[in-house]
Structure 1
Amino acid sequence: MAAAESSPLTTHVLNTGDGVPAARMALSLHRLDSQLMIWNMLSVGTTNKDGRCAGLVSGGALSPGMYKLRFETGSYWESLGQTSFYPYVEVVFTISAQEQSFHLPLLMTRFSYSTYRGS
């Protein structure tokens, strides 16, 4: 994994049902091959004790295109001895300029989630 300071993409996952960061959640970053219409995995990561996963990619690695972050929410809830309605959450987004930075938070409970483009 790249250093957090050089990553143009960061995320922060919060378990809003319990009011805590979602620690130790697996996630992966994918890019759409627009000609083949398939998703190619670029990297994997795990949230830290603060629910953050900063170093998914190194600076300059995100060229314009369509991407998705896949959060393994079902496994996270199972690790807490709970069930969840959503086995995973995929957030699809578009990058239009390579020099941009993105922060994509995920707020979740066992039965709901929301996301937004953070700063």
Structure 2
Amino acid sequence: MTGLTTHILDLSHGQPAANVKIELYYFEPASNERKLIRTAVTNEDGRCDAPLLSGEEVTAGSYELLFYIGEYFRNKEVVLPEPPFLEQVPVRFGISNPASHYHVPLLVSPWGYQVYRGS
């Protein structure tokens, strides 16, 4: 299966992060201009219901996932400072082989995050 998927795990509550808004951007090679190509919201399992990109939508290049984490923790009634330490988490990554599957998981708390290329 080719494509791009993600999921979010809330480390502070020990559960998947549901109802997190995610934006996917592509960087135009010639100008490096960031272009919004998809918006999604995670389901109860912390995943998107469909791949963010699939099949021929996947092209080699630079991308960014923007996770709206501050909004998520406020909706969970977590007391955050103003401004919160993490409002939005941007993750920039490259796709070098469009025939491969790229999975970008995010492990998050109000105070930190980790990201990696999953399987």
Q: Same fold (TM over 0.5)?
A: yes
> Which residue of 34, 37, 49 corresponds with 2:32?
37
Structure 1: give runs of 5+ residues left out of the alignment: 1-5
Partner of 2:92: 92
Q: Matches of 1:10 and 1:55 in 2, distance apart?
A: 5
> Which residue of 60, 67, 74 corresponds with 1:64?
60
> Which residue of 72, 77, 98 corresponds with 1:81?
77
Give the residue type in structure 1 aligned to 2:118: G
TM-aligned CA distance change 1:20 to 1:95, over 3 Å: same
Partner of 1:18: 13
How far does residue 37 in structure 1 lie from its aligned partner after superposition? Answer: 2.1
Identity %: 36
How far does residue 78 in structure 1 lie from its aligned partner after superposition? Answer: 1.1
Give the residue type in structure 2 aligned to 1:67: Y
TM (normalized to structure 2)? 0.89
TM (normalized to structure 1)? 0.89
Total equivalences in the alignment = 114
Q: Matches of 2:7 and 2:21 in 1, distance apart?
A: 12
Give the residue type in structure 1 aligned to 2:32: M
> Does structure 2 conserve the Cα–Cα contact (< 8 Å) formed by 1:23 and 1:51?
yes
Structure 2: give runs of 5+ residues left out of the alignment: none
